[in-house]
Amino acid sequence: MTYKTLADVFWVHPRKVAMTMKYNDSPWVYPCYKVIAHSGKVSGYNAEEGQKTKIEKLEADGIEVVDGKVPKEYII
């Protein structure tokens, strides 16, 4: 899912979603690594190795990442 799609659901700005995800203290309940930029780009991730970790988690879920982007067929 994208920050924009999630923001539309809650009627907030996508940056509000990003900030909420940044301070997510329950990532096992709210898997914020699954939220990506509207363009498909794998944006920042608040973990030790940031985007690398986010990409690894997405790929572990079976989501393809090509050149730092998730193809459109995987995006809600």
Consecutive 10-residue averages of pLDDT for the chain (76 residues): 94 93 86 91 76 91 95 91
Residue 52, both tokens: 């690398």
Return the pLDDT at 43: 80
Return the pLDDT at 6: 94
Return the SS3 of 30: coil
Q: Kindly write down the DSSP assignment for every residue of 26-61, as one continuous string.
A: -TTTS-GGG-B-TTSB----SSTTHHHHHHHHHHHT
Local structure of residue 47 (DSSP, 8 states): S
Return the pLDDT at 48: 67
Is 40 in contact with 70 (CB distance < 8 Å)?
A: yes
Q: What is the pTM of this model?
A: 0.83
